[in-house]
A and B are shown apart, each in its own frame.
Chain A
Amino acid sequence: MTVRSVSWTDAQRVSSLLARVTATRSPEPAALVSAMGAARAGAPGKAAPTPAKAAPKAPKEVPRLVQTSDNPADRLDALVAWTLAHQACVGAFVADDNGLTLAAHGISEAHVSLVGPLLSALVGVRTIPGVDATAGALWLGAQMMSWVEARTTRGGFCLGTVGDEALSTRAFEQLKEALGTTVRGL
């Protein structure tokens, strides 16, 4: 049984709404209290002390993909949209293990036609002991094609990206998790 989300809310719809209702926040601080009038004229206007040591910059937090629809097409579209929004790529696609592209955005026909042969080649790689072929990357001229795989009782699925740079290990993990979330229960 597919567990439905709590909010029944489509993540893409929320993203679209948020883009329409949020303002760009100014990086320049303006003191709320020091802007006060005569009543506070005597208050010390000293600037906040400088931190002794800047905290290390945390890696950008990527939200987990939440699937709110039971419709397979909607789930795949949401996965592609999430990938484009949160990973360093210009295109993304989902294919089954026969190489049939199920959803795609921002990738060329050439890339689409490459998916089938690529996955076929990986079948042979999987049989080699000690090799994890559930994720990989390939330089194609000036672009990098990366992919992760997930296996279900209905077969395998592949989520791929095309971009100008290699994905980090963390990004691969995030893609694997998002793909797993999407195909679970399909």
Chain B
Amino acid sequence: MTQPVTIIMIEDDEGHARLIERNIRRSGVNNEIISFANGTDAMKHLFGADGSGLPQKGNALLILLDLNLPDMSGIDILKQIKENRYLKASPVVVLTTTDDSQEIKRCYELGCNVYITKPVNYENFANAIRQLGLFFSVIQVPPAAP
């Protein structure tokens, strides 16, 4: 069974959020995008009030995550997502301004699916998003955990 994927964007810079959204749209991806400007709100949405992650059970999500957030580290969010039984199957795309190899390595170790350095050149970014568009279309809803 397929189900439209909801894109969760956690990005504190409004401009970046807008640009990402526009480029996603421009590359032909029309999925619902829910934006969060800080980590706390995003965590509340993803894990629910009790932090169990139950509200998202069975939902197909794609998470775009900025590592530099004002209130918490994106790395922490990534770690908690990948440790949560309901969320760990959701693909996570890390979007950040640094291309530090240590940081990239750490993200992949924690289970991030794609690491994208925020481009200054948006033409390349659009290409990347288009490829991600293909990626989005093959997302399978994770089997419902018992």
Does A pair with B?
no
